[in-house]
Amino acid sequence: MATKAKKALVDVAKLTRAQARVELTRLALELEGHDKRYYQDDAPSVTDAEYDALRQRYNAIEKRFPEFVTSDSPSQKVGAAPSGRFRKVRHSVPMLSLDNAFAEADVIDFVGRITRFLKLPDDKIDFSAEPKIDGLSMSLRYEGGELVTAATRGDGAEGEDVTANIRTLEDVPERLKGRNIPDICEVRGEVYMTKKAFLALNERQKAAGDTIFANPRNSAAGSLRQKDPTITASRPLGFFAYAWGEMSAMPEETQTGMIHWFERCGFKTNPLTRLCRSVEQLIAFHREIEEQRAELDYDIDGVVYKVDRIDWQERLGFVSRTPRWAIAHKFPAERAMTVLRDIEIQVGRTGSFTPVGKLEPVGVGGVIVQNVTLHNEDYIKGIGNKGEVLREGRDIRIGDTVVVQRAGDVIPQVVDVVIDKRPKNAKEFHFPKKCPCELHTDVVREETATGEEGSRARCSGEFACPYQKIEHLKLFVSRRAFDIDGLGEKQLQYFFDEGWVTEPADIFTLPKRNAKLKLEEIEGYGETSVRNLFAAIDSRRKISLERFIYALGMRHVGETTALALARGYGSWDAFHDACLKVTKGDEEAIAEMDALDQIGDTVIKSIADYFGESHNRGIVDRLTKELGEIVDAEKPKSNSAVAGKTVVFTGSLEKMTRDEAKATAERLGAKAAGSVSKKTDYVVAGPGAGSKLAEAQKHGVRVLTEDEWLKLIGE
Ligand SMILES: NC(=O)c1ccc[n+]([C@@H]2O[C@H](COP(=O)([O-])OP(=O)(O)OC[C@H]3O[C@@H](n4cnc5c(N)ncnc54)[C@H](O)[C@@H]3O)[C@@H](O)[C@H]2O)c1
Ligand SMILES: [Zn+2]
């Protein structure tokens, strides 16, 4: 229904004046409600992208009919009025919002507007480019160097007095450090909660039966706006300084200069901030930060560009609620709402059932999502979803409007159900009692490692279940396993259905069987593709041990575990031998396996189960006979000079890619970290190194060139 309503919207250009007035009134009310839920209650009911879309439409209509602009129209307002739970504080300099850019063209326009305004060639403007921290903004007033008030943004003019709560934050100094501190300093910035702290807090909240927060922003806001400051003190909140309000004197002349000044005063500032000198550099910064987004330990929803020279900021000034000299370049939304059309059961390689939600297609974070994992039966019922992300108290029904989230490489999932939009005929989903493989095997509830009945269902048909066979073959040829070019899922399914390939070894015997099979005669195949396929197959007769172990498809043995096993045993013979012993219950072999990093009971049990089946031993034996060589894995050199050290790579490396450098470091027993801290041992800096290098110098961390690093590790 929601999609229909959207389609029915009249093109802004075609709206009559009367229609515009009606829609503006309706949108204003709707936005006001969202603002209240978001800013006052810390509990939004729509995604930011949906909210932004409403706002954009509002602005577009108002732009066409400027006669409807009033002083209380949403385009003139910031945030929401203080909640009344706290004393009010009037800001001496208003706290405003930022204009948004979504596309690169918007950034080009932004720079163009500024150059025209200042009458400058654009390469003359420096910008401070900063990550846009998704927290809540805060104004800290210092008089005579002492913290006197801390206030939230509120509606921009008046905020809430949260001084007592703010005093519990480690990142907020009570007293500014350094000499010549202006008498009045209002330091502004963002209070945020790390993703890790957010997850841990939700765990504790859940255990105590308290509110669960939807995201780190809400949990930071909720934790800060507490009546009892001791509760705030128990919540790990951070603060980054990046702006200022009233200043009795300006210590610096640029935005970046001010940021460094804040550091000298004792504040934390964001280490990714960078000075950019052109539109290209701004856009490159946006791209670079977006790539790092998932790895950062705090949420960001875009980057902010600010004209660096403060005198120019002042000349540029403001347009209603936003400065003309800054813009937020947002990242594509990673959450969206859509309708759940159906639920299907997918049978995995190990027989486990995964319910997959079929969605009305929707764009999330730049990709179109049509399928979501619904994890298991309990997740759908909204019970006991251990550590998963679905909002507490929600069950999922077919026909529901759901909130879909995509984070980094993770498979999209449903994080919330909009109960208000649940249609009367929404259907509850009944989990099947039989496997769709028609062996009519009963479904068993999988046991967890601790022996409790788990929440996953599986087909008990094991090796006779065709679903499981084909899924194993798919894994076997996949990019991270044998990576066989020209043998995609479609071809594989075809060969499987014809009975030509039913287990991995069959792939390697295809070339010699082709006199009979005549693959080149299959429609759409042709001689060249067959020749290419066979070449691809032959090139994989030599395979690394870790890939080989992963490709066997044992339960609980993913890539990382496979790598750990490969490194632990070094050769296929040693590993295979150990597996057989473990299967027989050989105590010594079990203890040896258990001693390996990352290997525990679950994996050992799974290996024993796998090799305990003669059918599996047959698969492995037939396969190894067809292969040329299983290449030994390198054992990590724990006596290397960098074992146990933490290293950060920054700038561009010339002799290897960053991924390769990290892998080498890890192979030598070092830890490759993403950001510099006191605990960092080395920073390896190549050309173009920026803030991380500065951080290293600040913490007195040893900085090496790429060559010095290579020498250190003896390569
Ligand atoms: N889902 C909802 O119901 C709902 C309701 C209201 C608002 N929102 C969301 O909140 C945002 C509304 O915009 P807004 O007016 O609060 O502000 P904004 O998020 O668009 O931008 C301004 C804010 O960015 C923050 N910021 C972070 N890092 C910064 C930096 N380096 N420099 C400057 N500012 C920085 C500051 O707190 C500042 O107040 C939108 O993203 C909107 O989607 C959502
Ligand atoms: Zn089955």
Query: Which residue would you say has higher pLDDT here, 635 or 128?
Result: 128
Is residue 641 assigned to a domain? no
pLDDT recorded at residue 653: 82
User: Nearest-CA neighbor of 170 among 144, 191, 145?
Assistant: 191
Q: How many domains does the chain have?
A: 6
* Residue 31: C-alpha distances to residues 35, 38, 46, 129, 541 (Å): 6, 10, 11, 29, 62
Q: Determine if ligand 1 sits within 6 Å of the CB of residue 78.
A: yes
Span 509-538, pLDDT tens digits: 999 999 998 988 887 788 899 999 999 999
Centre of ligand 2 to C-alpha 465, Å, is 4
Q: For 408-422, what is the mean pLDDT?
A: 81
CATH of the domain at 412: 2.40.50.140
Structural domain of residue 56, as residue ranges? 2-76
Q: What gap in Å lies between CA 414 and CA 337, rounded to an integer?
A: 9
Does residue 220 have a pLDDT over 60? yes
Can you give the pLDDT at residue 277? 93
Q: Output the pLDDT for position 700.
A: 86
Please state, in angstroms and rounded to a whole number, the distance separating the CA atoms of residues 100 and 155: 18
The CATH code of the domain that includes 616 is 1.10.150.20
Domain stops at, among 540, 558, 586: 540
465 among the known binding-site residues?
A: yes
- The sign of the CA dihedral 257, 296, 408, 359 is negative
Q: Compute CA distances 492 → 96, 185, 261, 437, 542, whole Å.
A: 58, 68, 62, 18, 21
Give the mean model confidence (pLDDT) for residues 438-444.
65
Flag the least confident range among 164-178, 194-208, 543-557.
194-208
What pLDDT, on the 0 to 100 scale, is given for residue 3?
36
Give me the CATH number covering residue 262.
3.30.470.30
What is the predicted pLDDT for the residue at 405? 85
CATH number (domain holding residue 699): 3.40.50.10190
ipTM, two decimals: 0.93
Q: What is the pLDDT of residues 662-712, one digit of tens each?
A: 777 877 777 777 788 888 889 998 888 888 888 888 888 889 988 889 888
Kindly state whether residues 510 and 657 are assigned to the same domain: no
CB atoms within 10 A of CB 660: 11
Greatest mean pLDDT among 48-52, 190-194, 673-677: 190-194
Distance CA 237, CA 198 (A): 10
Cα of 243 vs centre of ligand 1, distance in Å, is 14
Q: Which of these ranges, 169-183, 387-401, 527-541, 660-674, has the smallest mean pLDDT?
A: 660-674
Percent of the chain predicted with pLDDT > 90: 44
Q: What is the mean pLDDT of the chain?
A: 86
Residue 299 Cβ inside 6 Å of ligand 1? The answer reads no
Establish whether 533 is an annotated binding residue: no
Q: Is 437 annotated as belonging to a binding site? A: yes
The answer to whether residue 639 is domain-embedded is no
Ligand number with the minimum distance to the CA of 45: 1
Atom 23, ligand 1: residue with shortest CA distance: 97
* Residue 126 resides in a domain: yes
Q: Flag whether 691 is in a domain.
A: yes
- Ligand 1, atom 11: nearest CA belongs to which residue? 48
Q: What is the pLDDT of residue 389?
A: 73
pLDDT value at residue 8:
53
State the pLDDT confidence band at 373, using cuts at 50, 70 and 90. confident
Residue 509 burial by CB count (10 A; 0-12/13-18/19+): exposed, middle or buried? middle
Residue 119 is a catalytic residue: no
Q: Residue 592 falls within a domain, yes or no?
A: yes
Residue nearest to atom 22 of ligand 1 (CA): 97
> Residue 453 pLDDT > 50, yes or no?
no
Interatomic CA distance for residues 401 and 389, integer angstroms? 16
What would the pLDDT profile of 221-261 be if each residue is shown by its tens digit? Answer: 999 998 888 889 989 999 999 999 999 999 999 999 999 99
Which DSSP state fits 8? T
Q: Is the pLDDT of residue 658 over 80?
A: no
Q: Which ligand has the minimum distance to the alpha carbon of residue 353?
A: 2
Q: Which of 460, 484, 503 is the last residue of a domain?
A: 460
Q: pTM for this one? A: 0.55
Q: What share of the chain is helix, strand, coil (3-state, %, to 5)?
A: 40, 20, 40
* The domain boundary residue, chosen from 501, 522, 540: 540
